[in-house]
Chains A and B, each alone.
Chain A
């Protein structure tokens, strides 16, 4: 059985997790924080004996028209080989242009040209790792006028052409839907459910953009009610998957993350058990 809910491993919690060995389904690290070698990497290697791991990359820049950075790809591949995680993922976005790295998940136009670029880059990544990777739906703050596909249609086509998995983030869907005036439930229509390998959950902030609210995916608070509601809908439609609580800004004590993870496990439990009851009644 798959682990139900896990937490993003952040450096302020590293020693507490090693000491307290909390019961959590799995741990996820950002690949880029463990490529340089450090005492933190050795601590993670020790934890690897007791926990399932997910490696989440943030800097492969799978949407870059100039292709992937060979040196960075080789370092990520070496880390994956070393830790042998259960899952590997990155985002549907780009962060490198002209050899400069912008440390942001920058948006793509959803066009046939971009689709071919991302499919080519994912193929290189999956070849280098010798395994499937999952691609996460981004938080969007803008839409390009020349896009010809919706984001979920782009992701579905990506799955079909590259064989990648999907990492579905309901918080990012809520952020994107608000910012681009979409209906988050419509967004879910037509997604290839069986390709989903993992769910992410996090908090977002509300900022002011020229007098109008814009949601910012800052991973700096508890998961919002709207996101919990959409998460329940996601689980109802696509089933249970390993679910991760992410927190990157104003990181709270470890117990808060574990509490959120327990709540996510509770949602899955409730939806799946209720779904099973409905199925039994229908039969």
Chain B
């Protein structure tokens, strides 16, 4: 009795991620090329093509570890987590956490943070353009209302914090970068990822600016955000920081 189509597809799926399915091999017409070699073409393609997709989404991770190491890392991840839908730019949300627990990458403790940055840049690239808040928009708001206002971040804008100098690590991994070394003890970094008209980028923030953005991002008021920023960084200057963040296009237009 041949397998019903649904069962055949479940067996094929199990085979691809490594299960030994004798019922599937028996369903494949045999000849001089064994069923296992024929099925292997598909298993190979699934892992290779999803590995290529991960390399496109996480280019800085690949640049840091090299293509061979990346292939093994991607293989291990794909065997654990497959896409749940066919848009490959949306595959890999779990990759940074997987890297954090990946034994062979233990010597690169910053690698998971690099993956979080790559993922945030990927999300920003695919975010809707949306209108940005302009200084003129705020001049229409009565001054006494400003402190209690909350301001949303622009679509795709997100803060990536790291114990490591992530901006320097990223710069030295770009194509064409020289072989400069990065001092891993140079201190923490706070990167604001942003969508631009034709790409995604990030800006390095001070600890105060980062605390300000982080507080606004969870819907708190400007007054509360400024207070948190002073707490994190006594040198925080609200008007300078706000002007800089406005010019970066960090905020969404008022609703």
**Interface residues in chain A, defined as those with a beta carbon under 8 Å from any beta carbon in chain B:** 32-33, 35-39, 58-61, 64-66, 69, 71-72, 75, 94-104, 106-109, 111, 113-114, 117, 141-147, 179, 181, 207, 209-210, 212, 214, 216
Offer 23 A-B interface pairs, CB within 8 angstroms, sorted by A: A32-B86, A36-B89, A37-B128, A38-B125, A39-B199, A58-B86, A69-B85, A71-B85, A97-B10, A101-B84, A103-B46, A103-B49, A103-B50, A103-B88, A104-B49, A106-B9, A111-B2, A117-B5, A144-B8, A146-B2, A207-B41, A210-B37, A214-B38
Which residue on chain B has the smallest CB distance to residue A11?
B56
Q: Which residues of A contact B46 (CB under 8 A)?
A: 102-104
Q: Does B83 contact A (CB under 8 A)?
A: yes
Cβ of B68 < 8 Å from any Cβ of A?
Answer: no
Task: Give Cα A109 to B9, complex, Å.
Answer: 10
> Does B71 touch A at the CB level, under 8 Å?
no
A209 to B13, CA, bound (A): 21
Bound complex: CA A37 to CA B90 (Å): 11
| Residue from A98, A102, A109, A214 within 8 A of B27 (CB atoms) | A109
Stretch with Cβ within 8 A of A (4 or more), from B28-36, B174-182, B229-237: B28-36
Seen from chain B, the residues whose Cβ lies within 8 Å of a Cβ on chain A are 2, 4-6, 8-10, 12-13, 16, 26-35, 37-42, 45-46, 49-50, 53, 82-90, 125-128, 197-199
Whether B85 lies near A101 (C-beta < 8 A) is yes
8 Å CB contact of A95 from B33, B34, B38, B86: B86
Q: Which of B46, B83, B85, B127 has the most CB of A within 10 A?
A: B85
Q: Are B12 and A106 in contact (CB under 8 A)?
A: yes
Interface of B is mostly: helix
The complex places the Cα of A210 from the Cα of B35 at a distance, in Å, of 11
**Whose C-beta in chain A lies nearest to the C-beta of B45?**
A104
| Additional A-B contacts beyond A97-B10, A100-B82, A209-B37 (16; CB < 8 A) | A32-B88, A65-B6, A97-B12, A97-B13, A100-B84, A103-B88, A107-B42, A113-B5, A141-B42, A144-B27, A145-B29, A179-B38, A209-B38, A209-B40, A212-B32, A214-B37
Question: In the complex, which residues of chain B have a beta carbon less than 8 angstroms from the beta carbon of A106?
Answer: 9, 12, 42
Of the candidates A71, A102, A144, the one whose C-beta lies within 8 Å of that of B29 is A144
Inter-chain contact A39/B85, CB cutoff 8 Å: no
Q: A71-B85, A146-B2 are in contact. Are A97 and B9 (CB under 8 A)?
A: yes
- Greatest chain B CB density within 10 A among A59, A104, A179 is at A104
Distance, CA A279 to CA B164, complexed state (A): 76
- Inter-chain contacts of A143 with B (CB < 8 A): 28-29
Query: How many angstroms from the CA of A99 to the CA of B198 in the assembled complex?
Result: 33
Bound Cα distance from A147 to B125, whole angstroms: 45
Contact partners of B33 in chain A: CB under 8 A: 209-210, 212, 214
Contacts of A35 in B (CB 8 A): 87
Residue contact A103 to B27, C-beta cutoff 8 Å? no
- Shortest beta-carbon distance from B8 to chain A in Å: 7
Q: Does the CB pair A103–B4 fall under 8 Å? A: no
Check if A210 sits within 8 Å of B34, measured CB to CB.
Answer: yes
Residues of B within 8 A of A66 (CB): 6, 9
Out of B10, B26, B37, name the residue touching A98 (CB < 8 Å): B10
Q: Which residues from chain B contact A214 at a C-beta distance below 8 Å? A: 33, 37-38, 41
- The chain A residue with its CB closest to the CB of B27 is A144
In the bound complex, do residue B83 and residue A100 qualify as a contact, i.e. CB atoms below 8 Å apart? yes
Residues of chain A within 8 A of B127, CB atoms compared: 37
Q: Give chain B residues whose Cβ lies under 8 Å from the Cβ of A107.
A: 42
Q: For residue A142, which residues in chain B have a CB less than 8 angstroms away from its CB?
A: 28-29, 35, 38-39, 41
